[in-house]
Structure 1
């Protein structure tokens, strides 16, 4: 199973598992080179950083952020031209878009 490191708390590393559940892993079981937002995998009872999966995960996050900015630039342009006004329907659309598209997949 793959995990994304969320944060460190004392002797624990708080991670999100690939099934979406939060898991606490002892720092003693992981690589010293692990940082927040790294993807780690378990091998022989120890957790090591999977550099390839970490790069892939960051690439997906950056693409989602770029999609959001492209959408917002288009919306801003349309509002400036008076074609579109920012109302509750647009707010609901943005909220639903985030809910459906901004998910950390590993």
Structure 2
């Protein structure tokens, strides 16, 4: 399952699933370096950063903003 970190509240990461529902994950279970907007892959009890998807999403957003303000 893929999720995206929406925000952090206290010791929890509030994440959005692909169906737009949200789940809370303890912050200490989130990989180091993950921040708001980071896409994570959750498989069984393992959570890893999906660097390729995160980078692609960031690039698309930056491109849209560049086009918007050009």
Which bracket does the TM-score occupy, shorter chain normalised? Answer: 0.7 to 0.9
Larger RCO, structures 1/2 (Cα 8 Å, 6+ apart): 2
Alignment of 1:29-68 (within 5 A): 29-68=29-68
Structure with higher Rg: it is 1
- C-alpha contact 1:5 1:13 (8 A) present in aligned 2: yes
- d(CA) in 1 for partners of 2:64 and 2:6? 19
Q: How many residues align?
A: 70
**Higher share in strand:** 2
Q: TM-score, normalised by structure 1?
A: 0.56
Partners of 1:68 and 1:23 in 2: how far apart?
32
- 2:13 equivalent in structure 1: 13
Structure 1 runs (4+) deviating above 4 angstroms are: none
Show structure 1 runs of 5+ residues with no match: 71-106
RMSD: 1.6
